[in-house]
Amino acid sequence: MTKSEKIESIKKGKPFRLTDIFFLAGLAAAVLALCWWVYWSPPAYPVQGVEVRQNGKLVERPYAFPKPDEEPLEIPLQGLTLVIESGACYVKKGSSTCPDHACERMGKITRPNQKIVCIPNGIVIRLVGESNFISIG
């Protein structure tokens, strides 16, 4: 087969075969399953409480999570309202006084060392607990 015949046979061939499509679909399914497992798996290390700092200073002792059958805690802070429910905490929608409401859009946090930050109000909310990450410095 000459070089020009090889080029013509490649041009006439199908860009994807059926096996290529099945391979790509299987690969996409495996990636989606891995992402789902990482995001929705329960944390390996339990969260012990919620720590609130304002301008670098601890506001109060770490708050403990309420039990699943108890009502969520609503804690008014300077410039926003923090809601602590069983296993998660978040900033209540419409409670933030900052212009862009970024802290409200951060959503619920559920794992140790996750944070919600409100820069205009100088508030950092962090979940306290053991983590498998090593802190350097």
At 121 the pLDDT is: 87
Structure tokens at 70: 């108890």
At 115 the pLDDT is: 92
Look at residue 136 and tell me if it is in a domain: no
Residues 131, 3: Cα–Cα separation, whole Å? 60
Look at residue 102 and tell me if it is in a domain: yes
Look at residue 33 and tell me if it is in a domain: yes
At 25 the pLDDT is: 94
Enclosing H/E stretch for 103: helix 102-105
Look at residue 58 and tell me if it is in a domain: yes
Look at residue 25 and tell me if it is in a domain: yes
Residue at token pair 């199908």: 14
At 134 the pLDDT is: 59
Look at residue 86 and tell me if it is in a domain: yes
At 117 the pLDDT is: 92
Low-confidence ranges of the chain (pLDDT < 70): 42-45, 61, 131-137
Beta strand extents in 32-87 (DSSP E only): 47-54, 57-58, 73-77, 80-85
Query: Whose CA is closest to 46, among 88, 107, 90?
Result: 88
Residues 88, 86: Cα–Cα separation, whole Å? 6
Look at residue 137 and tell me if it is in a domain: no
Q: What range defines the domain where residue 31 resides?
A: 3-40
Structure tokens at 49: 């409480």
Same-domain pairing of 36 and 52: no
Q: How many domains does the chain fold into?
A: 2
Same-domain pairing of 64 and 32: no
